[in-house]
Amino acid sequence: MADGRVLGVGLIGTGFMGKCHALAWNAVGPTFGTMMRPRLVHLAEVDATLARQRADEFGFLRSTGDWRDVVGDPEVDVVSITAPNPFHAEMALAALAAGKHVWCEKPMATSREDARAMLEAAKGSGRVAALGYNYIQNPAIREMERAIGEGTIGRVNHVRLEMDEDFMADEDAPFAFKNGAASGYGALDDFAVHPLSLLWRLAGPVEEVIADQSRPYESRGGRAVETHEIASALLRLSGGVSGTLSVNRAAWGRKGRIAVQVFGSRGTIVFDQERMNEFQIATREGDGRLAGFRTVLVGPAHEPYGRFVPAPGHSLGFNDLKVIEANEILAAIDGGTARLVDFETGFAIEEVVHAMARSHRERRWVTLGDAG
Amino acid sequence: MADGRVLGVGLIGTGFMGKCHALAWNAVGPTFGTMMRPRLVHLAEVDATLARQRADEFGFLRSTGDWRDVVGDPEVDVVSITAPNPFHAEMALAALAAGKHVWCEKPMATSREDARAMLEAAKGSGRVAALGYNYIQNPAIREMERAIGEGTIGRVNHVRLEMDEDFMADEDAPFAFKNGAASGYGALDDFAVHPLSLLWRLAGPVEEVIADQSRPYESRGGRAVETHEIASALLRLSGGVSGTLSVNRAAWGRKGRIAVQVFGSRGTIVFDQERMNEFQIATREGDGRLAGFRTVLVGPAHEPYGRFVPAPGHSLGFNDLKVIEANEILAAIDGGTARLVDFETGFAIEEVVHAMARSHRERRWVTLGDAG
Amino acid sequence: MADGRVLGVGLIGTGFMGKCHALAWNAVGPTFGTMMRPRLVHLAEVDATLARQRADEFGFLRSTGDWRDVVGDPEVDVVSITAPNPFHAEMALAALAAGKHVWCEKPMATSREDARAMLEAAKGSGRVAALGYNYIQNPAIREMERAIGEGTIGRVNHVRLEMDEDFMADEDAPFAFKNGAASGYGALDDFAVHPLSLLWRLAGPVEEVIADQSRPYESRGGRAVETHEIASALLRLSGGVSGTLSVNRAAWGRKGRIAVQVFGSRGTIVFDQERMNEFQIATREGDGRLAGFRTVLVGPAHEPYGRFVPAPGHSLGFNDLKVIEANEILAAIDGGTARLVDFETGFAIEEVVHAMARSHRERRWVTLGDAG
Amino acid sequence: MADGRVLGVGLIGTGFMGKCHALAWNAVGPTFGTMMRPRLVHLAEVDATLARQRADEFGFLRSTGDWRDVVGDPEVDVVSITAPNPFHAEMALAALAAGKHVWCEKPMATSREDARAMLEAAKGSGRVAALGYNYIQNPAIREMERAIGEGTIGRVNHVRLEMDEDFMADEDAPFAFKNGAASGYGALDDFAVHPLSLLWRLAGPVEEVIADQSRPYESRGGRAVETHEIASALLRLSGGVSGTLSVNRAAWGRKGRIAVQVFGSRGTIVFDQERMNEFQIATREGDGRLAGFRTVLVGPAHEPYGRFVPAPGHSLGFNDLKVIEANEILAAIDGGTARLVDFETGFAIEEVVHAMARSHRERRWVTLGDAG
């Protein structure tokens, strides 16, 4: 730390994810004792007054109503982009063009063309360009990945993924932006990329898909709903691994469920984000009298849990995942290897979503990589 | 009971399901205080010596090594058919031809033609012809069905079904009959009909499917495996209800999992056969401070649990489901309405499985009722 | 079975436990293939008409309104006593005097003197005299006992027991027999003996106790409640093992909870009767990355589950425990070793309850075996 | 914030709790948008070099090897005391004498005399003097408290508390400081105060106790163990409320279990810290067909969860509880009402522990408030 370098941080957007980034930038130094220290320099929010207030709250030096001020600020080294999805591409491209590192919330963009442009811009930039896929940072997920990598459950042969919440479940709610085609496909955009990011870590890339989308409610407030709150898909990964993915943003009672089941030749691993501090594993064992699914509580044995709490079973929270992600961003900027979803992987994940949507439209299996 | 009529019972087969039928025939009278009383008359098992031993154990008067003796016994009124699947059709046809009622284990037959013949024979027989789909008899399932019927979770819009066990999970096991094409498709035959029977009660018939099957192990003992231990499908029911079904008989750690999730416009219901005495329900409620999934333990409020135990939360077992099914058989024979999977419904359920297999082969959506 | 002997069964009482015994006597032969076969001979119920009806339902040959007819029936070899507790002593003494084996529901009697007389009568009788402690017959409990016996959790050092139901929870219910002193202490009588019977199998006899009893409601329907719906105790077993016991028959939401936690020098075992087909075990293991409580589903590896179902994870029910107990009764009558709570052990268990009540009255620790 | 005042923070100690305080002081402003902003001024650690390193990591301006420098620093307004327990009294007294607010980790001191001196010093100081009982800050606990306060479970009549971890479970571990009498009673000091602090919020103060302590291992490394790793107690609260408390720091498999059961005349509430983002509630309801324990996932409906994450079911972590506590400290310093365990309540909680120890020594019930 004596020689600790300072990293100037810019933040665009101060909603759910904006605050989450702000908290992470505040906490990453004290939590990890990082050599490189974030300095919260410049914050943008559409309303300049609100921007000033949030800057004070979050600890940023400067504020602005124009995000271009952040991108253009010479004291800013990295830009957190948490504005609404339609703005991601323009902001990320501008930031990369200005030589900034970029930490952008998912999805990359609202069109494949924009996403592709972002990917291209990142490639030649020499800058870190990463996406906010914080669920992969969970020590539970990391341990599952490690255990799978070490062969604890043998060769993976089947996966099942679910993501469910109920914020679109109320049939009496009025028509909202998220019900219109401009917002995207529906649950596929909102949710599918999350379990897919876990899948990518745990079992590799998807090769073929066929999906089906449906609507619990045909209309809201007299207007036809254009998105699909529910989607399901069959998946094929390399090596004959099969799988399913189901997402539902109208699932009463579900609040943050991301259920993962990975089946292998020697065991099974199960996880649910609603109980993010544990996972379950069963392996083939002895005579079966004491065999069963083990509930593993995350603890210091599972990196980097110990950076937060030295005692096991004391629970990390959702925001802590973002702190871990911030630490990975710092590592990447520092030139080290980092555990992140970069623009290339993020683009690949979103391609799966687009392929799903297409397979639904065309009612047929779609192979990834086929011209879309 | 003073005027209680006697029902002569014949049993073919004494394995897992044969014993289960025998126990049910023994228990149904004392449990339900039925007016009609089963009399255990004739038991058949391939080995006549074993047949005699089992008859003594199970309480049957007569035994035989030839199942035709059971079918031809004038004192037998109803025949329990629990022999291996390839024999079901011949036995059921003979029993119906002899004027017996038939209680046959699923699946009906190993070919659609045979199943169709059984269906036709049953239609004109004036006899009860039912299949052993005992999971639908669970008071938990009955309550879920009732609650859905009363609108507790609103209009159903999505379902997810899973059935997993691990008896085919061991990659080092030798090639077995169940690995050969003669045994059928694989997990689709063994498992899929069970969750589909629940689905049929809870949400109605399936209209369209696309399935994918896969193998965890390509070969066993040097021989190519011909069946698929894993299968997944997308489902469409009437009214725009979508769904998924996944079955896996190589799922380490799973012993009797039949997981059902039913999503509706006002709530969600969840069930898992491994904890068959409970289900979970969430409905939209108040301000959300005390909302969540409720774990309902089955009790006397859920018919016919109280016939077994007058105190709630004391648990029924798997065999008790067969006792309930036997009671339904008695009711049907007595001319009353019964809650059973008859040959017509059973045929329809198996048609879904065949459609799934076809959709896998042809890699396309298949509509039920299309010429197969 | 060719040489199978017949055992004449008499049953007194046809309520909850009476039916449970009847079902068990019906099922034990077919389930276990026993050499000795029960023959249901004579049933007594206070109302002779009801007795006849129940005899027909349960399959007994003869019925009576006078229990002495059962005890005096020369064709009766064993008498199931399920009448209300105040009658147990007189019935058991008469049955033993008549040379019958006795299977009596717990508790033995409503006074220690009566219980002691039963114990003395049994000692010299040469007959089997056993109590209905069916929870110890659960294959899950048997496996826990075996695992503890084999040292899987090391030396036991602490135990916690709970039993909770809610049938006395309603504050608006009228005064009932169970609220009067004539019914006994309250939850101590009703519940405590059950977890104590498990404790006796899993960790041995209790040596010292101090208990506290309390009432959720001081009066019902204007009458002062004389029993205690809630009781808690500290326990000391031999070898410095400490423990707690808590019972509550006014615990809203609990239906059949019997929670057991056994802590040892190398592991912990946990069980809850509301999920009677599973238990949890944690042992010290490796590096902790995959350590945790394992949920073991009962299956054929756990005797005698396989007598009911050959597939694991398919669940036994409460009534199945009584079938296992009946099989132990048969084994005992046959002169073999049996896993039962005989009158001697039952008396010792009830002594613990009396010591608890005394420790409550005198507000001090009480040592078992001290003159009461 | 425009008029935001600055609060100078001093921190003594940088272990588990020291880091936890540091993270909380960093996060409380951005999380809550507080008007009063902490400024991390001065950090003390025994080793001055380590102090410097930690100051850099945690973001403190100054560091020292002598804690008196922190207490004497005119720019420090509040002192976080996280040094080992034997130092708490001296530090807290010095800080209060210097006019600082004090946020001290529990327990107050290692002797009742010292604790009493701290209490007296706080009384006349006009300063905030609070203890680190962060578990009461959990939104789940707050909601349970609110629900109980609103009568959702009726009048509380019984409670059960457990706290278990396994860090002292290994019988092969060498003798450690925590095994010696100088460290206190054992599990009573380490653990009991935590569930007691929850009890105090949920059901009020304890009036009478009788406890029993035991040792899983008599010696370690040839030295006699002087503490008790296990303790259990019977409790009496006002109004006839009874209860139990059990603590075990040698409980294999338990990592951070704090189990709370509160029984009332209309319902039951259950919580376990190992799943700190949920609680369970059962209330008397309707016809029982859909009654059961509800698992409530914490969300924005439960203050102040929404300050961390706007979406429900996304989980807070252990460290977040400290951030909430820090916010309460700020509120108290600002003169508002705060939800904290102040020295007076903390002293009362610790008196219960001392009474338990005494009741164990004297093997009798002890009334709180009796001269000790």
Structure confidence by residue, pLDDT tens digits, A171-217: 999 999 999 998 899 999 889 999 999 999 999 999 999 999 999 99
Closest CA to D171 of C355, C156, C16: C156
- Contacts (Cβ under 8 Å, ≥6 apart) of D346: D106, D107, D108, D115, D131, D133
Å between C295 CA and nearest CA of chain D? 13
Residues 256-285 (A) with a CB less than 8 A from some CB of B: 263-268, 282-284
Tell me if D268 and C246 make a contact (CB, 8 A cut-off).
no
Q: Are A105 and A17 in contact (CB under 8 A)?
A: yes
Q: Long-range contacts of range A273-280, CB-CB < 8 Å, 24 or more positions apart? A: A273/A135, A273/A138, A274/D297, A274/D313, A274/D315, A275/D275, A275/D277, A276/A138, A276/A140, A276/A316, A276/A318, A276/D315, A277/A140, A277/A313, A277/A315, A277/A316, A277/D275, A277/D315, A278/A140, A278/C292, A279/A140, A279/A143, A279/A144
Q: Which residues of C touch B58 (CB under 8 A)?
A: 30
Dihedral, CA atoms, A122, A128, A129, A135, nearest 10 degrees?
Answer: 150
Tell me if B265 and A214 make a contact (CB, 8 A cut-off).
no
CATH 3.40.50.720 fits B6-127, yes or no: yes
d(CA C207, CA C352): 8
Q: Which residues of C touch B310 (CB under 8 A)?
A: 16
Q: Are A262 and A202 in contact (CB under 8 A)?
A: yes
**Best residue of B318, B320, B324 to probe chain C, by most C CBs closer than 10 Å:** B318
Å between B223 CA and nearest CA of chain C? 26
**Best residue of D234, D249, D280, D293 to probe chain C, by most C CBs closer than 10 Å:** D234
Dihedral, CA atoms, D65, D68, D74, D76, nearest 10 degrees?
Answer: 70
For A316, which of D4, D30, D317 is closest by C-beta distance?
Answer: D317
**Best residue of D148, D281, D290 to probe chain B, by most B CBs closer than 10 Å:** D290
Q: Which residues of C touch D244 (CB under 8 A)?
A: 232, 244, 246
Closest-approach residue (CA) in chain B for D153: B290
Å between A232 CA and nearest CA of chain C? 29
Residue D88 sits at the chain A interface (C-beta within 8 Å) = no
Closest CA to C215 of A61, D275, D240, D172: D240
Lowest mean pLDDT among B305-309, D19-23, D182-186: D182-186
Running DSSP on this structure, what letter comes out for residue A188?
A: I
pTM: 0.97
**Best residue of B148, B156, B157, B289 to probe chain A, by most A CBs closer than 10 Å:** B157
What are the two backbone dihedrals, phi and then psi, of residue C144, each rounded to the nearest 5 degrees?
Answer: -60, -45
DSSP code per residue over C219-282: EETTEE--SBSEEEEEEEEGGG-EEEEEEETT-TT-SSEEEEEEEESSEEEEEEGGGTTEEEEE
Give the per-residue pLDDT at C1: 37
Å between A141 CA and nearest CA of chain C? 12
Residue A242 sits at the chain B interface (C-beta within 8 Å) = yes
Give the mean model confidence (pLDDT) for residues A338-345. Answer: 97
Q: Which residues of A touch D16 (CB under 8 A)?
A: 309-311
E strand or H helix that includes residue B68: helix B67-72
Q: Are D303 and D139 in contact (CB under 8 A)?
A: yes
Give the per-residue pLDDT at D2: 39
d(CA D29, CA D8): 13
The structure tokens 């980092």 sit at: A338
Q: Is the dihedral of CA B235, B237, B239, B241 positive or negative?
A: negative
Tell me if B23 and C31 make a contact (CB, 8 A cut-off).
yes
Same fold, A6-127 and A136-362: no
Residue A212 sits at the chain B interface (C-beta within 8 Å) = yes
Give the Å distances, CA to CA, from A117 to A114, A292, A344.
5, 49, 11
User: In terms of DSSP H, where are the helices of chain C?
Assistant: 16-32, 48-58, 67-72, 88-97, 112-123, 139-149, 187, 193-202, 318-333, 343-362
Tell me if D296 and B290 make a contact (CB, 8 A cut-off).
yes
- Record the tokens describing residue C232, joined without a space: 């808690």
Å between C140 CA and nearest CA of chain B? 14
Give the per-residue pLDDT at D110: 86
Q: Work out the percent of chain D whose per-residue pLDDT is above 70.
A: 98
Closest-approach residue (CA) in chain D for B153: D290
d(CA D287, CA D302): 29
pLDDT (tens digit per residue) in D40-95: 999 999 999 999 999 999 999 999 999 999 999 999 999 999 999 999 999 999 99
d(CA A219, CA A227): 10
pLDDT at D3 over 60: no
Q: Which residues of C touch D359 (CB under 8 A)?
A: none
pLDDT (tens digit per residue) in D103-126: 999 999 988 999 999 999 999 899
Residue C318 sits at the chain B interface (C-beta within 8 Å) = yes
Residue A315 sits at the chain B interface (C-beta within 8 Å) = no
Tell me if D23 and A31 make a contact (CB, 8 A cut-off).
yes
Running DSSP on this structure, what letter comes out for residue B129?
A: E
Residue B53 sits at the chain A interface (C-beta within 8 Å) = no
Q: Rounded mean pLDDT of chain A?
A: 96
For B57, which of C33, C278, C314 is closest by C-beta distance?
Answer: C33
Residues 111-170 (B) with a CB less than 8 A from some CB of D: 143, 146-147, 152
- Record the tokens describing residue A149, joined without a space: 């990598």
Q: Are C212 and C233 in contact (CB under 8 A)?
A: yes
Give the per-residue pLDDT at C110: 86
What are the two backbone dihedrals, phi and then psi, of residue D240, each rounded to the nearest 5 degrees?
Answer: 80, 10
Mean pLDDT by 10 residues, chain C (372 residues): 76 97 98 94 98 97 98 98 96 98 95 96 96 98 98 98 97 94 92 97 97 97 96 96 98 97 98 98 87 96 97 97 98 94 97 97 94 52
Tell me if C59 and B313 make a contact (CB, 8 A cut-off).
no
Tell me if B147 and D290 make a contact (CB, 8 A cut-off).
yes
Tell me if D288 and B301 make a contact (CB, 8 A cut-off).
yes
**Best residue of C268, C277, C281, C290 to probe chain A, by most A CBs closer than 10 Å:** C290
d(CA C102, CA C77): 9
For D301, which of B152, B287, B295 is closest by C-beta distance?
Answer: B287
Query: In B54-92, which positions are buried (b, 16+ CB within 10 angstroms) versus exposed (e)?
Result: bbbbbbbebbbeebebbbbbeebbbbbbbbebebbbbbb
**Best residue of A144, A278, A289, A302 to probe chain C, by most C CBs closer than 10 Å:** A289
What are the two backbone dihedrals, phi and then psi, of residue C8, each rounded to the nearest 5 degrees?
Answer: -75, 125
d(CA D359, CA C210): 12
Å between C206 CA and nearest CA of chain A? 28
3-state secondary structure chain D: CCCCCEEEEEEECCCHHHHHHHHHHHHHHHHHCCCCEEEEEEEECCCHHHHHHHHHHHCCCEEECCHHHHHHCCCCCEEEECCCHHHHHHHHHHHHHCCCEEEECCCCCCCHHHHHHHHHHHHCCCCCEEECCHHHHCHHHHHHHHHHHCCCCCCEEEEEEEEECCCCCCCCCCCCHHHCHHHCCEHHHHHHHHHHHHHHHHCCCEEEEEEEEECCCCEECCEECCCECEEEEEEEEHHHCEEEEEEECCCCCCCCEEEEEEEECCEEEEEEHHHCCEEEEEECCCCCCCCCEEEEECCCCCCCHHHCCCCCCCCCCHHHHHHHHHHHHHHHHCCCCCCCEEHHHHHHHHHHHHHHHHHHHHCCCEECCCCC
Give the per-residue pLDDT at A4: 61
CATH number for the domain formed by residue range(s) C136-362: 3.30.360.10
For B30, which of C16, C57, C299 is closest by C-beta distance?
Answer: C57
- Contacts (Cβ under 8 Å, ≥6 apart) of C41: C8, C9, C10, C60, C61, C62, C73, C75, C76
Q: Are D309 and A16 in contact (CB under 8 A)?
A: yes
Q: Which ipTM did the prediction report?
A: 0.96
Q: Which chains touch B (3 or more CB pairs under 8 A)?
A: A, C, D
Q: Could you tell me the pLDDT band of residue D4, with boundaries at 50, 70 and 90?
A: low
Angle D266-D237-D261 from CA coordinates, rounded to 5°: 45
Tell me if B23 and C19 make a contact (CB, 8 A cut-off).
no
Closest CA to C326 of C183, C128, C66: C128
Q: Which chains touch A (3 or more CB pairs under 8 A)?
A: B, C, D
Q: Where are the domains positioned within chain B? A: 6-127, 136-362
Residue D297 sits at the chain A interface (C-beta within 8 Å) = yes
SS3 label, residue B271: strand
Give the per-residue pLDDT at B369: 87
- Record the tokens describing residue C50, joined without a space: 């009801």
Q: Work out the percent of chain A whose per-residue pLDDT is above 70.
A: 98
Query: In B338-353, which positions are buried (b, 16+ CB within 10 angstroms) versus exposed (e)?
Result: bebbbbebbbbbbbbb
For D252, which of C170, C250, C268 is closest by C-beta distance?
Answer: C268
- Record the tokens describing residue C190, joined without a space: 């009703």
Give the per-residue pLDDT at B4: 61
Å between D297 CA and nearest CA of chain B? 7
Helix axes A16-32, A318-333, angle to 10 degrees: 70
B133 dihedral zone (left: phi>0; alpha: psi -120 to 50; beta): beta
SS3 label, residue A159: strand
d(CA C279, CA B215): 32
For C292, which of A146, A290, A295 is closest by C-beta distance?
Answer: A295
Residues of chain B below pLDDT 70:
1-4, 286, 371-372
Give the per-residue pLDDT at B225: 97
Q: Which residues of A touch C302 (CB under 8 A)?
A: 289
Give the per-residue pLDDT at A2: 39
Residue D294 sits at the chain B interface (C-beta within 8 Å) = yes
Give the per-residue pLDDT at C286: 67
Q: Are A63 and A364 in contact (CB under 8 A)?
A: no
**Best residue of A294, A303, A305 to probe chain C, by most C CBs closer than 10 Å:** A294
Q: Are B360 and B234 in contact (CB under 8 A)?
A: no
Q: Long-range contacts of range C111-116, CB-CB < 8 Å, 24 or more positions apart? A: C112/C350, C112/C351, C112/C354, C112/C372, C114/C88, C114/C89, C115/C89, C115/C346, C115/C347, C115/C350, C116/C347
Dihedral, CA atoms, A94, A95, A97, A99, nearest 10 degrees?
Answer: 160
